[in-house]
């Protein structure tokens, strides 16, 4: 893993936008699914990929609201998808497979604002882990036949720099004790990275590559959308007038800048022979295990070795299969 997990010199920067990353690429004939592709970073990802010629299907819990959000975008459709409902995931995947279409890119983007108190799905699973990891795991495996048909597909898991602080609670991933919303969020985001690593190991020979992405911190997205003005100000994300502070060099980005690394992972020819990596700022991240606190002026985003450890990735895959089999 270490030999792949280092910057390649992509030519893009933290300030690059999704449109800049896609400039010159013709995605006509490419089929893409974006979960939660109707709001925030998901909507910007949908818009940019569709404008580059791709046909995009947005999976959303509320299709009516999602349809309103993507109205006017060419080649964009919406279907119901609730990532904490087994039947909803299976039905969504079945509808796609019945069309016989290849799936070139799956962007596992949907997440939810961290609840302050413990929340669970109908199966009893902690809701952030269920949405961000378990649901996307089930969806991805259900769509494998369509991904194989693409003869060169990519699965992009939208993670976070919070993977640095996350730990998989192997004996208690559902927080039967000691729940903390931030700890649960970090576990889910670490799982996104480990899932990409093991997915790539298992399916690269079939032309299916896995990637995990830190998009940056964007005011109003799931990461901070539930935070109040005082909290956002203390995090250095808004100024005294309530205006977003944009400083991509330290990870504070616009939607267009945040979505850029997502579409880079989804489309860049530079990644044709590379998978199972974590990306940030439109390039492969360095590995940095140096403990660094999160402050208003410093947002560490580099991947830590435990997030890309092959043994951890295989262990999580097994744990996930066991949880979904219950």
Q: Which pLDDT tens digit goes with each residue over 34-49?
A: 999 999 999 999 999 9
In the predicted structure, residue 2 carries a pLDDT above the cut 60: no
Q: Residue 118 sits in a domain of what CATH number?
A: 3.40.50.720
For 159-164, what is the mean pLDDT? Answer: 96
This prediction's pTM: 0.95
Nearest to 202 by CA among 30, 326, 285, 318: 318
Spatial contact of 110 and 59, defined as CB atoms under 8 Å apart: yes
Given a cut of 50, whether residue 315 has pLDDT beyond it is: yes
Of 150 and 229, the one with more pLDDT = 150
- Averaged over 61-78, what is the pLDDT? 98
11 lies in some domain? no
The proportion of the chain whose per-residue pLDDT surpasses 70, expressed as a percent, equals 95
Q: Using 50, 70 and 90 to split pLDDT, how confident is the model at 239?
A: confident
| pLDDT above 80: residue 233 | no
What's the whole-number average pLDDT of the chain?
A: 94
Residue 154 lies in a domain: yes
What is the predicted pLDDT for the residue at 242?
A: 78
Q: Provide the 8-state DSSP code for 122.
A: T
Q: Is residue 102 part of a domain?
A: yes
Domain extent for 57:
18-324
* CB atoms near residue 35 (< 10 Å): 27
Higher pLDDT, 292 or 150: 150
Going edge to edge, which strands form the sheet with 153-158?
76-80, 55-60, 31-35, 105-108, 153-158, 208-214, 277-280, 283-284
Q: Is 116 among the domain residues?
A: yes
For the chain, helix, strand, coil in percent to 5 are 40, 15, 45
Residue 114 is assigned to a structural domain of this protein: yes
Residue 13, in any domain of the structure: no
Is 284 part of a structural domain of the chain? yes
Average pLDDT for residues 209-236, to the nearest whole number?
A: 74
Confidence of residue 6 (pLDDT cuts 50, 70, 90): very high
Mean pLDDT on 251-256: 94
Is 50 exceeded by the pLDDT of residue 291?
Answer: yes
Domain count for the chain? 1
Q: Are 132 and 192 contacting, i.e. CB atoms less than 8 angstroms apart?
A: yes
Query: How many CB atoms within 10 Å of residue 231?
Result: 12
Assess whether pLDDT exceeds 90 at residue 235. Answer: no
pLDDT at residue 225 tops 60:
no
Q: What is the mean pLDDT of residues 216-223?
A: 70
Residue 157 lies in a domain: yes
Average pLDDT over residues 85-95: 98
pLDDT at 1 over 50: no
Q: Which are the catalytic amino acids? A: 185
Res 55 pLDDT > 70? yes
Per-residue pLDDT, averaged over 108-119, amounts to: 93
pLDDT at 212: 98
Residue with more model confidence, 238 or 155: 155
Give the model's pLDDT for residue 220: 59
Res 244: pLDDT: 82
With a cut of 60, say whether residue 227 has pLDDT above it.
no
pLDDT at residue 97 is higher than 80? yes
Nearest to 10 by CA among 222, 226, 260, 254: 260
């Amino acid at each position: 893993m270490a030999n792949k997990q280092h910057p390649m010199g992509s030519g893009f920067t933290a300030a690059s936008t999704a449109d800049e990353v896609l400039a010159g690429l013709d995605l006509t004939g490419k089929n893409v699914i974006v979960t939660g592709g109707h709001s925030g970073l998901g909507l910007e990802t949908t818009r940019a990929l569709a404008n580059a010629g791709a046909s995009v299907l947005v999976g959303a819990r509320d299709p009516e609201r999602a349809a309103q959000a993507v109205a006017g975008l060419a080649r964009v459709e919406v279907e119901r998808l609730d990532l904490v409902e087994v039947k909803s995931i299976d039905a969504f995947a079945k509808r796609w497979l019945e069309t016989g279409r290849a799936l070139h890119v799956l962007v596992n983007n949907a997440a939810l604002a961290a609840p302050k108190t413990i929340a669970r799905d109908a199966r009893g699973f902690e809701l952030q882990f269920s949405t961000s990891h378990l649901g996307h795991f089930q969806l991805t495996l259900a769509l494998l036949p369509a991904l194989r048909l693409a003869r060169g597909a990519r699965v992009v898991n939208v993670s976070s720099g919070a993977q640095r602080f996350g730990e998989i609670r192997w004996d208690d991933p559902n927080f039967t004790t000691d729940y903390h919303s931030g700890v649960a969020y970090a576990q889910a985001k670490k799982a996104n990275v480990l899932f990409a690593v093991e997915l790539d190991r298992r399916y690269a020979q079939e032309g299916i590559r896995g990637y995990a992405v830190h998009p940056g911190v964007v005011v109003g997205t799931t990461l901070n959308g539930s935070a109040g003005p005082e909290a956002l100000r203390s995090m250095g994300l808004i100024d005294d007038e309530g205006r977003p502070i944009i400083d991509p060099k330290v990870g504070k980005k616009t939607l267009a800048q945040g979505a850029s690394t997502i579409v880079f992972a989804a489309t860049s020819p530079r990644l044709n022979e590379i998978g199972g990596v974590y990306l940030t700022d439109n390039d492969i991240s360095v590995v940095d295990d140096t403990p660094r606190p999160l402050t208003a002026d410093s947002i560490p985003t580099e991947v830590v070795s435990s997030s890309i450890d092959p043994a951890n990735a295989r262990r999580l895959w097994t744990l996930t299969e066991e949880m979904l089999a219950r």
